[in-house]
């Protein structure tokens, strides 16, 4: 059997400790992980694609087999082109399930060999989302426990007028 590669796609706007937890779990299971940062997001992102890539890179140890790339277009096409058959997604709660289930089946329809593997983060991170982190930061709350230090710094810069 060749190298087992998996793809972890998402918006990562911004990356949180929940995403990081999923990344470290995934590399225990696969030889290489590609974190794919979605470019053409229907939601308007707070951070540019390049900033999101840089934040993920800065938040990971550099001795792990992870590549951080920009995902431009359909996930199924990207996976086919790069001969990847596994997609990693995080499942936090039942509320994630319906959307994730639809996506997994749609992706399999578009790329029949594609399997979706769901990983659950450490309990403390099950309530964490990029959306909530941005909301709390915007209202002046302390988000330093929920995101990597580089992200906390960026959020503070955006939302603290005098910095
Ligand atoms: P998307 O916009 O594609 O949902 P996200 O960046 O919000 O992108 O999430 C990417 C993936 O990571 C999704 O599968 C999501 O469920 C998962 N995820 C997000 N936050 C967490 C977390 N705190 N713990 C575990 N998985 C998470």
Q: Which residue's alpha carbon is nearest to atom 27 within ligand 1? A: 90
Assess contact for 84 and 8: CB atoms under 8 A. no
CB of 14 within 6 A of ligand 1: the answer is no
What pLDDT does 160 receive? Answer: 83
CB of 22 within 6 A of ligand 1: the answer is yes
In what order do the strands lie in the sheet containing 115-119? Answer: 66-71, 32-38, 5-10, 86-90, 115-119
Closest ligand 1 atom number to CA of residue 13: 6
Using DSSP, how many helices (H) and how many strands (E) does the chain show?
A: 6, 5
Determine the longest span between alpha carbons in the chain, in angstroms.
56
Closest ligand 1 atom number to CA of residue 125: 23
What pLDDT does 108 receive? Answer: 95
Name the more confident of 152 and 42: 152
**Structure confidence at residue 162 as a pLDDT band (50, 70, 90):** low
What is the tally of structural domains in the chain? 1
Write out the two tokens for 61.
């140890």
Assess contact for 79 and 114: CB atoms under 8 A. yes
CA 42–ligand 1 middle distance (angstroms): 15
Q: Which residues are catalytically annotated?
A: 19, 43, 92, 130
Q: Which residue's alpha carbon is nearest to atom 16 within ligand 1? A: 90
What percent of the chain is predicted at pLDDT more than 70? Answer: 97
CA 63–ligand 1 middle distance (angstroms): 23
Query: Reduced to 3 states, what is the DSSP secondary structure of residue 117?
Result: strand
| Segment 6-34, tens digit of pLDDT | 999 999 999 999 999 999 999 999 999 99
The predicted model scores a pTM of 0.95
What pLDDT does 6 receive? Answer: 98
Rounded to the nearest integer, the mean pLDDT of the chain is 94
CATH of the domain at 14: 3.40.50.620
| Segment 58-104, tens digit of pLDDT | 999 999 999 999 999 999 999 999 999 999 999 998 888 999 999 99
Q: In the chain, at which residue ranges do the beta strands (DSSP E only) sit?
A: 5-10, 32-38, 66-71, 86-90, 115-119
Q: Torsion angle, CA of 79/97/68/137, rounded to 10 degrees?
A: 150
Instruction: Give the residue numbers spanning the domain of 50.
Output: 5-159
What pLDDT does 41 receive? Answer: 64
């Amino acid at each position: 059997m060749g190298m087992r590669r998996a793809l972890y796609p998402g918006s990562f706007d911004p990356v949180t400790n929940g995403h990081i937890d999923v990344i470290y779990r995934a590399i225990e299971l696969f030889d290489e992980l590609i974190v794919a940062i979605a470019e053409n997001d229907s939601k308007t992102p707070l951070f540019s694609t390049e900033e999101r890539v840089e934040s993920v890179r800065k938040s990971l140890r550099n001795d792990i087999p992870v590549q951080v790339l920009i995902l431009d277009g359909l996930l199924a096409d990207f996976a086919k082109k790069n001969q990847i058959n596994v997609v990693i997604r995080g499942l936090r709660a039942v509320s994630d399930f319906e959307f994730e289930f639809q996506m997994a089946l749609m992706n399999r329809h578009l790329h029949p060999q594609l399997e979706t593997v769901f990983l659950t983060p450490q309990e403390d991170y099950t309530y964490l989302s990029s959306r909530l982190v941005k909301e709390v930061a915007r209202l002046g709350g302390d988000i330093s426990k929920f995101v990597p230090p580089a992200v906390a710094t960026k959020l503070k810069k955006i939302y603290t007028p005098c910095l």
